[in-house]
């Protein structure tokens, strides 16, 4: 379906819903834009393929999946090597992470044997793409399940993982006014869709503000992701014993709702351009907001879990040995043929992509890793250790070097 058609159809459906029930909370608008059963942005799987609108850590370099596999291998060993051991990836998107994770897990025989890799992907289009990407590679150990399937299962031992998933949950946008907090709703008129301020759409929005002591200044706008803490308490309930690892951008509550941040964190991404025209091209652009790690920690605690660590992606990956994966390409000899020069350039590009994952000002400190534990599990994990405490690793002891050009391979592997 051509993009304009899909977006126009979705806009009409949104307008029809507004016609039937009145202005809708922005969270409902965002839900339709991203997850409409046919026309939603993620349902159609249009943003990540080839990095059209966004590029995640898994899409940037294979070291991300590889190092996380190392972390989960450690979790499994320290749990006493249970067989089976479940690793559940929520929102796998293009499926790159699983590819790199499974490739690395295969090096650890006992771990590979015990591992049950589960994917939870609501978009049938993306799930199909994941299947093709993994075809022929350890696919027998991979299963696609729905949240309802997981609910029907007995509690299990393992690790749950979500990279850049919770930031795509719909947010309520609330603004401080002299009359108290009001919520941004979407209305439809002759000029198309537009925003209006209306009373809070539900008690849960008011309760969240009250329970978290959030008092808004006049004109200050915040976005509230109520779905993320709900999801975390549900997910923690799936585990008998194990970990929940969330990788995403976000802040602790005092920083997230500080009055200096006048207009919240919601952003629209379209073809790598960042915008604030949230009502533009419904279903054609990504909408995403920063997480509230404090609300997530509290939700986890209420569900009987505890926070084991909240750190930057840089520290987490360095703790797992990211530096040992950085290759120093050998400069080609002057006057040599073109092949070594080509390999040199490829290795340089590969190194740049890996650095993107860990450098400050880039993905290294834009993303945080929040590790939550259920049951009596060790908290002194390699990813949460101080990277400078790592024992020296000799080249011989590091079997984990990614294949040269792994990141480059991504570019020619965009769509299966």
Ligand X SMILES: C[S@@+](CC[C@H](N)C(=O)[O-])C[C@H]1O[C@@H](n2cnc3c(N)ncnc32)[C@H](O)[C@@H]1O
Q: Please choose, out of 4-12, 89-97, 331-339, 383-391, the segment that lies near ligand X by the rule CB under 6 A.
A: 89-97
In angstroms, give the least distance from the CB of 89 to ligand X. Answer: 7
Going through 33-171 in order, the beta strands assigned E by DSSP cover 85-90, 115-120, 142-144, 156-163
Nearest CA among 133, 136, 97, 132 for reference residue 117: 97
Binding mask 96-115 for ligand X (x = CB under 6 A): -x------------------
Q: Please choose, out of 54-62, 132-140, 259-267, 323-331, the segment that lies near ligand X by the rule CB under 6 A.
A: 54-62
How far is it, in rounded angstroms, from Cα 413 to Cα 63? 17
> Are the C-beta atoms of 251 and 371 separated by less than 8 Å?
no
Q: Please choose, out of 103-111, 159-167, 205-213, 268-276, the segment that lies near ligand X by the rule CB under 6 A.
A: 159-167
Cβ closer to ligand X: 91 or 181?
A: 91
Cβ closer to ligand X: 168 or 209?
A: 168
> Are the C-beta atoms of 129 and 416 separated by less than 8 Å?
yes
Question: What are 380's strand-pairing partners?
Answer: none
In angstroms, give the least distance from the CB of 366 to ligand X. Answer: 14
In angstroms, give the least distance from the CB of 41 to ligand X. Answer: 9
Choose which of 53, 100, 121, 248 interacts with ligand X (CB under 6 A). 121
In angstroms, give the least distance from the CB of 2 to ligand X. Answer: 22
Q: To the nearest 10°, the Cα dihedral for 332, 338, 344, 346?
A: 180
Choose which of 122, 332, 340, 405 interacts with ligand X (CB under 6 A). 122
Nearest CA among 198, 261, 187, 257 for reference residue 225: 257
Asked whether position 237 contacts ligand X by CB under 6 A, the answer is no
Cβ closer to ligand X: 92 or 402?
A: 92
Cβ closer to ligand X: 53 or 73?
A: 53
Question: What are 243's strand-pairing partners?
Answer: 159, 373
Choose which of 58, 285, 294, 307 interacts with ligand X (CB under 6 A). 58
Beta-carbon neighbour count of residue 226 at 10 Å? Answer: 19
Q: Say if residue 153 is exposed, middle or buried (CB neighbours under 10 Å; 0-12, 13-18, 19+).
A: exposed
Between the alpha carbon of residue 123 and those of residues 128, 143, 144, 365, the distances in Å are 9, 15, 11, 29
In angstroms, give the least distance from the CB of 168 to ligand X. Answer: 5
In angstroms, give the least distance from the CB of 167 to ligand X. Answer: 7
Asked whether position 168 contacts ligand X by CB under 6 A, the answer is yes
Cβ closer to ligand X: 59 or 319?
A: 59
Binding mask 177-196 for ligand X (x = CB under 6 A): --------------------
Q: Please choose, out of 56-64, 232-240, 325-333, 365-373, the segment that lies near ligand X by the rule CB under 6 A.
A: 56-64
**SS3 breakdown of the chain: % helix, strand, coil, rounded to 5?**
45, 20, 35
Cβ closer to ligand X: 30 or 305?
A: 30
Asked whether position 42 contacts ligand X by CB under 6 A, the answer is yes
Cβ closer to ligand X: 144 or 251?
A: 144
Structure tokens at 392: 């020296």
Q: Say if residue 187 is exposed, middle or buried (CB neighbours under 10 Å; 0-12, 13-18, 19+).
A: middle
Asked whether position 59 contacts ligand X by CB under 6 A, the answer is yes
Asked whether position 316 contacts ligand X by CB under 6 A, the answer is no
Going through 27-127 in order, the beta strands assigned E by DSSP cover 85-90, 115-120
In angstroms, give the least distance from the CB of 123 to ligand X. Answer: 4
How far is it, in rounded angstroms, from Cα 215 to Cα 213? 6
Asked whether position 160 contacts ligand X by CB under 6 A, the answer is no
Choose which of 24, 126, 256, 369 interacts with ligand X (CB under 6 A). 126
Cβ closer to ligand X: 73 or 121?
A: 121
How far is it, in rounded angstroms, from Cα 333 to Cα 340? 8
Cβ closer to ligand X: 92 or 387?
A: 92
User: Which ranges constitute the DSSP H helices of 237-311?
Assistant: 253-256, 293-302
Choose which of 23, 25, 92, 264 interacts with ligand X (CB under 6 A). 92
How far is it, in rounded angstroms, from Cα 226 to Cα 232? 11
Which residues here bind ligand X, judged by CB under 6 A?
A: 42, 48, 56, 58-59, 90-94, 97, 120-123, 126, 163-165, 168
């Amino acid at each position: 379906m051509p993009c304009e058609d899909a977006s126009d159809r979705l806009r009409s459906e949104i307008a029809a819903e507004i016609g039937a029930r009145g202005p809708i909370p922005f969270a409902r608008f965002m839900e339709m834009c991203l997850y409409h059963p046919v026309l939603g942005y993620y349902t159609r799987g249009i943003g990540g393929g080839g990095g059209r609108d966004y590029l995640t850590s898994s899409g940037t370099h294979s070291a991300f999946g590889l190092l996380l596999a190392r972390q989960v291998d450690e979790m499994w060993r320290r749990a006493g090597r249970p067989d089976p051991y479940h690793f559940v990836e929520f929102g796998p998107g293009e499926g790159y992470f699983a590819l790199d994770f499974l490739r690395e897990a295969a090096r650890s025989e006992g771990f590979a044997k015990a591992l049950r890799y589960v994917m939870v992907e609501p978009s049938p289009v993306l799930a199909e793409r994941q299947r093709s990407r993994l075809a022929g590679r350890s696919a027998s150990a991979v299963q696609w399940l729905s949240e309802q399937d997981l609910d029907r299962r007995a509690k299990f031992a393992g690790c749950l993982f979500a990279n850049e998933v919770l930031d795509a949950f719909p947010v309520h946008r609330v603004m401080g006014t002299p009359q108290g907090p009001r919520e941004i709703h979407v209305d439809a008129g002759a000029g198309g869709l537009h925003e209006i301020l209306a009373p809070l759409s539900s008690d849960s929005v008011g309760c969240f503000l009250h329970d978290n002591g959030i008092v808004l200044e006049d004109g200050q706008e915040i976005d509230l992701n109520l779905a993320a803490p709900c999801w975390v308490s549900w997910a923690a309930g799936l585990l008998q014993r194990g970990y929940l690892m969330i990788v995403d951008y976000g802040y602790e509550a005092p920083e997230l709702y500080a009055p200096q941040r006048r207009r919240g964190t919601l952003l629209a991404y379209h073809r790598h351009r960042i915008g604030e025209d949230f009502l533009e091209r419904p279903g054609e652009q990504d909408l995403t907001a920063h997480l509230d790690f404090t609300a997530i920690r509290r939700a986890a605690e209420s569900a009987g879990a505890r926070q084991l660590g909240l750190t930057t992606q840089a520290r987490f990956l360095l703790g797992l040995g990211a530096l040992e994966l950085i290759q120093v390409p050998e400069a080609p000899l002057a006057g040599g043929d073109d092949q070594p020069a080509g390999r040199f350039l490829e290795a340089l590009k590969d190194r740049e992509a890996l650095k993107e994952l860990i450098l400050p000002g880039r993905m290294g400190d834009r993303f945080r890793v929040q590790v939550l534990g259920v049951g009596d599990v060790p908290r002194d994990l390699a990813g949460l250790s101080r990277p400078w405490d790592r024992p020296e690793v000799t080249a011989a002891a590091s079997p984990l070097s990614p294949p040269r050009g792994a990141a480059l391979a991504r570019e020619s592997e965009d769509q299966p």
